[in-house]
Structure 1
């Protein structure tokens, strides 16, 4: 993901940057306030490589550093697919960035267990109380909070309305059978139905995860994560439904070598009208615009279809957001700026720019002006259940196996049965 899962770009998960000492009101120093004269330098690892977040956060850093000349923030923006291995390499060495982007879940938990992350429960208590529980959940473990969310959203299908109309598709599909029929109509019209970053792998796992939710049900998927057993018949069926799609050869030529946000990747393929759909997070419109021409009013959104005979609810959403965690050795300055950046007037600027969705309980609803972000926000607010990206929900090795196994299914080298077997074996091995 996205972005992630990115994405992403997660343009989404890039939110927020580090800064300086503790303020008098405990909620982030106001620009112009004094935070001491001792010079402070720290790194902020983020995913803000695409607009509007790229400029937004660069401006915020400048704004804060101008008010606090003793603080130097090293803004290290890294593209999503490069970010994950770089962060993994650093944390495996026993270190963590001072302030860094995280999706929470099992990956963050591993950092916590390694003693690399600060517990923010007390020091950021005044901010935590103003954040929605859904946005916070991925960063909380055993009653403690180890990160603060800066975005929340969901994955769904982004589609080209003009290409749908050209192929005779009058409305977005609501069932899996209708979806497969739409793919057939697009192919018959000479249009590539789906853009997919096969090389990146994480976008492909979105299909299997959503199908597992729709076939087995959200509770069954969550239970499988606890028992480390994905071999149930419903999870095999999810893979069989995905294979139905793969057998139609719906993806762009060379998809297995395509990344997500590169000039010839998934987002650009979609943005330049060379494919009719992509399954991606709320950051998709921003990354499309950054990677290609953009679709403007021709861009639409619909939720993942139901599966005939499935146990899952059409209202359950799959996705996540971006947040920030603090390395255990980060200076107090980093927390102070994190709190400053989550002040309603500052975070709402990102919401208004169409970069992120609201994470605060009050004061941000009116800031959602981008029609695409508004659609996702309204859809998510009506969701009956929510599932975090599987490659973030589970421990890193398990999440990677989900991505790898589903990629092999899409590539034709693994069967649906083999997918659930290898995921289960990895999950059980990690739990021992």
Structure 2
């Protein structure tokens, strides 16, 4: 997430979009990707991450546990963080505050842009669906009044307008989402599987000390091979 946010804040959403979709001469060895990697390494070198961070498991709650035991003061996460904390350690929720990823001086990206997925915040029906009306009926069932209330109680943000959310923390998160002009889907889920694997591997290498320029050139080379360019 740090790497993706740095790319966005430095160059805006078009840098990744052009590189991923091979348009407007976009390339993964663009200077923005290289500079984002260098900024990641600045954080690593200043000790911003715990020892062994490159092998920690977010799904297992490793980063949250650091907060719970007062070994960390901040984590970069999505809105799922709140529902996880409510389930794992509800008394900790009152200690949590949120703020958007900072802007970068001289960067072209809008500081309101977000990285991730809208997740629970939308449903879609494929154009190839044989029964769109039935699919729409199912969606209405999934977001009826009972479902919406249960999601809100669990700390989630249902995909409906004019929500009546009492929790000030969730309302603050919803405010950031509503004002975001662009939401960039996770690189590893947006890219084809082969390129996704290369991105994840090279990102970990950057966090581990790999030259960002070399990593960017490798990803661009793999991408060109994939598209037979």
TM-score scaled to structure 2, two decimals? 0.82
Give the corresponding residue for 1:27: none
Give yes or no for contact 2:82–2:155 (8 Å, CA) kept in 1: no
Distance 1:338 1:393, change over 3 A: same
Give the corresponding residue for 1:359: 159
Distance 1:369 1:431, change over 3 A: farther
Give the corresponding residue for 1:247: 45
Give yes or no for contact 1:316–1:385 (8 Å, CA) kept in 2: yes
- Quote the Cα distance in structure 2 between the aligned partners of 1:387 and 1:404: 20
Alignment partner for residue 418 of structure 1, among 207, 214, 221? 214
1:371 aligns with 2:168: yes
Give yes or no for contact 2:143–2:158 (8 Å, CA) kept in 1: no
Give the corresponding residue for 2:19: 224
- Quote the Cα distance in structure 2 between the aligned partners of 1:420 and 1:293: 41
Give the corresponding residue for 2:5: 210
Considering fraction of residues, name the structure with more strand.
1
How far is 1:245 from its partner? 0.7
- Quote the Cα distance in structure 2 between the aligned partners of 1:253 and 1:288: 23
How far is 1:419 from its partner? 2.3
- Quote the Cα distance in structure 2 between the aligned partners of 1:294 and 1:231: 45
Give yes or no for contact 2:206–2:215 (8 Å, CA) kept in 1: yes
How far is 1:293 from its partner? 6.4
Distance 1:248 1:291, change over 3 A: farther
- Quote the Cα distance in structure 2 between the aligned partners of 1:255 and 1:383: 29
Aligned positions of 1:126-275 closer than 5 A:
206-227=1-22, 229-262=27-60, 265-275=62-72
SS in 2 for 1:301: coil
How far is 1:314 from its partner? 1.0
Considering fraction of residues, name the structure with more helix.
2
Give yes or no for contact 1:270–1:276 (8 Å, CA) kept in 2: yes
Distance 1:336 1:316, change over 3 A: closer
Give the corresponding residue for 1:428: 224
Give yes or no for contact 2:78–2:116 (8 Å, CA) kept in 1: yes
Alignment partner for residue 200 of structure 2, among 398, 403, 415? 403
Give yes or no for contact 1:262–1:291 (8 Å, CA) kept in 2: no
Give yes or no for contact 2:143–2:159 (8 Å, CA) kept in 1: no
- Quote the Cα distance in structure 2 between the aligned partners of 1:387 and 1:231: 19
Between structure 1 and structure 2, the one with the greater Rg is: 1
- Quote the Cα distance in structure 2 between the aligned partners of 1:255 and 1:293: 25
Alignment partner for residue 186 of structure 2, among 381, 389, 395? 389
Distance 1:207 1:354, change over 3 A: same
Alignment partner for residue 107 of structure 2, among 297, 310, 324? 310
Q: Which runs of 5+ in 1 are unaligned?
A: 1-205, 329-333
How far is 1:338 from its partner? 4.0
SS in 2 for 1:365: coil
How far is 1:340 from its partner? 5.1
- Quote the Cα distance in structure 2 between the aligned partners of 1:293 and 1:405: 36
Q: Which runs of 5+ in 2 are unaligned?
A: 129-133
RMSD: 3.0
How far is 1:409 from its partner? 1.1
Give yes or no for contact 2:115–2:184 (8 Å, CA) kept in 1: yes
How far is 1:336 from its partner? 8.4
How far is 1:239 from its partner? 1.0
Give yes or no for contact 1:214–1:313 (8 Å, CA) kept in 2: yes
Deviations along 1:388-423, whole A, 9 cap, x unmatched? Answer: 1111121122223222211111122x1111221222
Distance 1:289 1:273, change over 3 A: farther
